[in-house]
Amino acid sequence: MRLVTWNINSVRLRLPLLARLIEETRPDLICLQETKVEDAQFPKDAIADLGFPHQAFAGQKSYNGVAVLSKRPLKGFRTRLSCDRPDMRHLIVELEDGTELHNIYIPAGGDLPDPEVNDKFAHKLSFLDDLADWFGQTYRPMDKLILVGDFNVAPLENDVWSHKQMQKIISHTPAEIERLNRFQDSLGFIDAARHFVPADLKLYTWWSYRAQDWAASDRGRRLDHVWVSAPLKEALSGALVVREARGWPQPSDHVPLIVDFYEEGAISR
């Protein structure tokens, strides 16, 4: 089973790139963030025509929005709100085998890394605290869970181009990393990308639109993640960052992250 997560930054504008991703990587399950579209305008027919008739989406005008697209039937879905806001940032889907898939878009947090003066950073920290508390209270470590999305935090030194220069840059501050780690530790989630790529190697999923030449400067960050609970650890079979997607025409600033799983009854391993 091939899973991909991608902050697409407008699903309507980038439908041709979604088609290209499907054509070139053949995923079974696609999780999108920043769809930036209300549900009534979601391009469900065009996406069904790409081979993904089973869809769950929760959007709003202009901002946020999450979607799960599947080749196979989904058993159900729901959204979760937090921090007393209407933001569509958390979509929960039940897969056929009973695994719960959580597609999460964590707030970016603005520019100033001080929650006293920057409400957006305060919101980000509260959102992370809420995730840690809620997962810890709602599930057990042996539940089958997959968490994916744009977490907007690059936790490890080699998840950013310069650990030293990023200390006070939102996405790599100690306050966020501490909270992301508490969230991860709440149920002992396994970081699927780092399960395959050692921590001493640089790994990025996002490059700023503002760089003159994103590939030459290569000042990336690993903001997008796939985590699995302990029962799914042995099912992990590979991970791949689709770096070339950053060079596609009119790209998102994030690239897709693919994680492959072995499945019960598969012909070969």
Partner DNA sequence: ATGGTAGCGTTGCTA
Judged by CB under 7 A, the residue of 21, 27, 32, 36 near DNA is 36
Joined together, the tokens standing for residue 111 give 């520019």
Which C-beta is closer to DNA: that of 7 or that of 184?
A: 7
Q: In this chain, which stretch among 7-15, 67-75, 125-133, 136-144 interacts with DNA, using CB under 7 A?
A: 7-15
Q: How far is the CB of 30 from DNA (least distance, A)?
A: 18
| Chain center to CA of 246 | 16
Angle at which helix 119-138 crosses helix 174-187, to 10 degrees, equals 10
Judged by CB under 7 A, the residue of 21, 57, 67, 109 near DNA is 109
Q: Verify binding: residue 221, DNA, rule CB under 7 A.
A: no
Beta bridge partners of 79: 91
Is residue 158 within 8 Å of 202, Cβ to Cβ? yes
Joined together, the tokens standing for residue 95 give 């897969």
Q: Pick the closest to residue 146 from 97, 182, 217 (CA basis).
A: 97
Joined together, the tokens standing for residue 113 give 């890394």
Q: In this chain, which stretch among 4-12, 90-98, 128-136, 258-266 interacts with DNA, using CB under 7 A?
A: 4-12
* Binding characters for DNA, 62-91, by CB under 7 A (x = yes): xx----------------------------
Q: How far is the CB of 75 from DNA (least distance, A)?
A: 30
SS3 content of the chain, % helix, strand, coil (to 5): 30, 25, 50
Q: Verify binding: residue 249, DNA, rule CB under 7 A.
A: no
Judged by CB under 7 A, the residue of 13, 81, 215, 266 near DNA is 13
Q: How far is the CB of 186 from DNA (least distance, A)?
A: 23
Is residue 15 within 8 Å of 46, Cβ to Cβ? yes
Cβ contacts of 69 within 8 Å, gap of 6 or more: 29, 30, 31, 32, 47, 52, 54, 55
* Binding characters for DNA, 130-169, by CB under 7 A (x = yes): ----------------------x-----------------
Binding site for DNA (CB under 7 A): 9-10, 12-13, 36, 61-63, 107-110, 120, 152, 208-210, 250
